[in-house]
Amino acid sequence: MPRVPEVYYAGEIPPHGGGTLVYNVIDNIDKARQYWEIKTRIEIKPTLDPKGVPVRNVYREVMSIAYGFFTPLEGFMTQNEVESVLKERRLLSGWLFPYPIVFDVTEEEWKASGAKVGDEVLLTLKGKPLAVIKVEEFYKLPEDKKAFADAVFGTPERNKEVVRVPFDEKMPGWLIYRCLKSHAIAGRVWVVNPPKFREPYVRFWIPPAQSRAYIKAKGWRFVVAHQTRNVPHVGHEMLMRRALFVAGIGERPADAVLVNAIIGAKRRGDYVDEAILEGHEALSRGGGYYFHADRHIVTMTLWDMRYGNPLESILHGIIRQNMGCTHHMFGRDHAAVGDYYDPYATQYLWTRGLPSYGINEPPHLTDKGLKIRPVHMGELAFCPKCGEWTYLGIPLDVPEVKQLPLCGHKPERISGSFLRGLIIEGIKPPSVIMRPEVHDVIVKWWKVYGYPYVTDKYLKLKEEQLEVELP
């Protein structure tokens, strides 16, 4: 008999790992200051690509671990745990987890710090205290970083269910692992100097404990998570609305959508982070009111996105389950870039599992898997004759049937690259494609940075400023 997932209500769904939500943050300033005096310290530095452009800052992982987004993970992985994740996508405790989370350093940085296994080491950011790591292990990462990156994401030979072509440096997540330093420090981390978020990030920083309290206060029972790294067009709105009615139980649809934006270094050509957050906010709180504010909330997670499609979807499910969501919508090309993965790789994972990655069952049906439930979404397209969006379906089994539009016409697919092309040419998309309030947000940040999309210049400026400042 197929396993039936348990039913949980929003805010009461258990954190991933079945225990308590991780909260490794010392809020008491007097207690925290004691750690600031630790002499053994290491400065957090960005991961740079071959051109010297920042593609990751591990401080974001420190924050996401300490504030519970990655529960049950409490720190950076040991060598054995990395190997377990690469082989079976499981932590040593057995709980499902998709990626190695490592704090990489050079051997010279380690020696200069004077740190030893067993020490508490102060991690500084821009020269100021941020966190402490209790060193459990110092180990050497594989010398062949290309092979390491392939082990993280897969290859067409080993993972033929979903990987179409070999990964290379155009794939941002693969590049991150390809550019890691030589060694890694493992151990539990906790934040000892909670940073202040800059505008506009501060109003979107709603960590899991706070998110769960918010959901409970609203009385929401079923909440659908929407993953985003884009400003929304109307097609995204339609997907969110459709997901609300697909989620829930029986005759009762879900109560709200929790938009969770991934904030960090992104690929060139994506929208800048500020526009992503405020663009989604504009749908319910920016004058447009396309969603009622009591049915829609915009939040963020600090993470330098890996663009790992099915693997990324597991991390997204973990994050949003920890935030208290009951359902997660997964669409075509979820969290993907280029043609590396099958466009519906995430749906394959959540309906069948991916044995070549060591995942033999769907993540929400496997032992020590997730409790959040998937809502599978296919494509939407705009029909000029109807003057509205129509659903095309999911071509997993019978493409000639499942890809038929609901209307009887020939709708047009509206791609993100097409929209970006219009915008950069100064053409305001029609309101049936993109809400004017969202376009206004894009233009606002275009004026700030001189370009509406991520560039090398933006990535370098982002690394200089980050999303936070430390007292």
- Condensed to tens digits (0 to 9), the pLDDT of residues 255-301 reads 999 999 999 999 999 999 999 999 999 999 876 689 999 999 999 99
Percent of the chain with pLDDT over 70: 97
Average pLDDT (421-434) is: 92
Task: List the single range of 158-167, 185-194, 389-398 with lowest mean pLDDT.
Answer: 389-398
Distance CA 108, CA 125 (A): 18
pLDDT band (50, 70, 90) for residue 3 = low
Mean pLDDT of the chain: 94
Is the pLDDT score of 391 beyond 60?
yes
427 alpha carbon, distance to own chain's centre: 30
Average pLDDT (192-218) is: 97
pLDDT of residue 400: 52
Query: DSSP 3-state assignment of 374?
Result: strand
Distance CA 261, CA 439 (A): 18
Phi, psi dihedrals of residue 225, rounded to the nearest 5°: -85, 140
Strand partners, 122: 41, 132
Is the pLDDT score of 432 beyond 80?
yes
Q: Which of 467, 7, 15, 6 minimizes the C-alpha distance to 208?
A: 15
Is the pLDDT score of 1 beyond 50?
no
Is the pLDDT score of 401 beyond 70?
no
Query: DSSP 3-state assignment of 102?
Result: coil
pLDDT of residue 396: 65
Residue spans of the domains in the chain: they are 29-197, 201-463
**pTM summary value:** 0.96
Cβ(59)–Cβ(100) under 8 Å? no
Distance CA 253, CA 275 (A): 30
pLDDT band (50, 70, 90) for residue 110 = very high
pLDDT of residue 181: 98
Structure tokens belonging to residue 335: 């969290």
The answer for residues whose C-beta is within 8 angstroms of residue 223's C-beta and 6 or more apart is 10, 11, 215, 254, 255, 256, 257, 258, 324, 325, 326, 327
Q: Which of 21, 26, 61, 38 minimizes the C-alpha distance to 304?
A: 61
Structure tokens belonging to residue 447: 């004026």
Distance CA 4, CA 7 (A): 9
Question: Who wins on pLDDT, 71 or 399?
Answer: 71
Q: Report the first-to-last Cα separation within the chain, whole angstroms.
A: 57
pLDDT of residue 399: 55
Is the pLDDT score of 319 beyond 50?
yes
Is the pLDDT score of 71 beyond 60?
yes
pLDDT of residue 411: 87
Cβ(275)–Cβ(298) under 8 Å? no
- Condensed to tens digits (0 to 9), the pLDDT of residues 289-312 reads 899 999 999 999 999 999 999 999
The CATH number that domain 29-197 falls under is 3.10.400.10
Can you name the CATH fold of 201-463? Rossmann fold (3.40.50)
For residue 89, how many C-alpha atoms fall within 13 Å in the half-sphere facing its CB?
Answer: 30
- Condensed to tens digits (0 to 9), the pLDDT of residues 440-457 reads 999 999 999 999 999 999
Is the pLDDT score of 249 beyond 80?
no
Is the pLDDT score of 31 beyond 60?
yes
Average pLDDT (33-52) is: 96
The answer for residues whose C-beta is within 8 angstroms of residue 202's C-beta and 6 or more apart is 196
Angle at the Cα of 287 (from 334 to 384), degrees rounded to 5?
A: 55
- DSSP secondary structure string, 306-366? ---THHHHHHHHHHHHHTT-SEEEE-TTTT--TTSB-TTHHHHHHHH-BGGGTB-S-TTTS
